[in-house]
């Protein structure tokens, strides 16, 4: 029986380094499950000069886990290149400054019961043996994981909401709409501006102007829409029926 890895708290220390001098360099970027938060997609698509729709289609897969309330968006590995991440070269990551939260966390991961665990295997990750001393909280700050986590606060809040536990979303259309609203800001923008959405919901003129060009504002609207539709929260206000009828004429 494998021994459970020790739990680390913010004040605890661990040893780690990652650089080209290690013969395992970039091996952790191969055949690995990296789940992307909405903010991860937003940063990467901007860095690559793609729309979020293009990025999702080319570089991700949708994963539905039984019993989990929200779908997951997983970074696709390059099957023709030994299942290596599409963005990794011998010298490192092409988009290191905009890497996903999971990559920023490595070699740590969050534990379901709180705290952290070193998830890397020292037999494969030599940086655990030949590394520097790090305090957990300093590592998270240095790697931008703390800032990234704060930016994904809306996602964590939605995924962890107690009402989500009662939902069993299996309808493909609903799943795709959730992905569009949360991860595909450009696709959701097209849907909002080219459908009857603005005829149905009452949005301030300033907010309508903002979502036309501001991805963060568009993402915020996506969260409000999902919370309105899935959880019944009053995050959006419907126009009254007379206004909707007049808007449709």
Confidence at residue 186, expressed as pLDDT on a 0 to 100 scale: 98
51: helix, strand or coil: coil
- pLDDT tens series, the chain, 249 aa: 345 788 999 999 999 999 999 999 999 999 999 999 999 999 999 999 999 999 999 999 998 877 666 788 999 999 999 999 999 998 999 999 999 999 999 999 999 888 999 999 988 999 999 889 999 999 999 999 887 666 666 777 776 666 566 565 667 788 888 899 999 999 999 999 999 999 999 999 999 999 999 999 999 999 999 989 888 889 999 997 544 444 444
99: helix, strand or coil: coil
Please state the φ and ψ torsions of residue 47, each to the nearest 5 degrees.
Answer: -65, -30
Q: Where are the domains of the chain?
A: 13-151, 154-247
pTM: 0.87
Distances (CA, A) of 70 to 111, 112, 211, 226: 19, 17, 24, 11
132: helix, strand or coil: strand
- 82-89: Cβ within 8 A, 24+ apart: 82/30, 82/31, 83/30, 83/31, 84/26, 84/29, 84/30, 84/31, 85/29, 85/30, 85/32, 85/34, 86/59, 88/26, 88/29, 88/30, 89/26
């Amino acid at each position: 029986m494998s021994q459970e890895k020790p739990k680390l708290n913010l004040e605890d220390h661990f040893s780690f380094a990652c650089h080209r001098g290690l013969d395992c360099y970039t091996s952790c970027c191969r055949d690995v499950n990296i789940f992307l938060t909405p903010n991860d997609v937003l940063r990467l698509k901007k860095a690559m000069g793609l729309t979020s729709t293009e990025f999702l289609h080319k570089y991700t897969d949708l994963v539905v886990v039984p019993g989990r309330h929200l779908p997951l968006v997983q970074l696709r590995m390059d099957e023709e290149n030994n299942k290596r991440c599409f963005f990794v070269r011998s010298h490192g990551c092409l988009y290191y400054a905009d890497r996903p939260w999971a990559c920023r966390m490595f070699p740590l991961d969050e534990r379901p019961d709180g705290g952290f665990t070193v998830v890397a295997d020292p037999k494969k990750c030599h940086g655990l043996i030949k590394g520097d001393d790090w305090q957990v909280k300093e590592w998270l700050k240095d790697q931008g994981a703390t800032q990234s986590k704060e930016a994904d606060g809306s996602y964590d809040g939605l995924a962890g909401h107690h009402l989500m536990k009662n939902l069993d979303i299996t309808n493909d259309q609903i799943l795709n709409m959730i992905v569009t609203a949360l991860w595909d800001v450009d696709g959701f923008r097209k849907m909002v501006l080219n459908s009857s959405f603005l005829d149905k919901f009452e949005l301030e003129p300033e907010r309508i102007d903002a979502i036309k060009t501001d991805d963060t504002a568009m993402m915020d609207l996506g969260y409000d829409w999902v919370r309105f539709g899935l959880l019944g929260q009053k995050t959006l206000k419907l126009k009254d029926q007379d206004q909707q009828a007049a808007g449709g004429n």
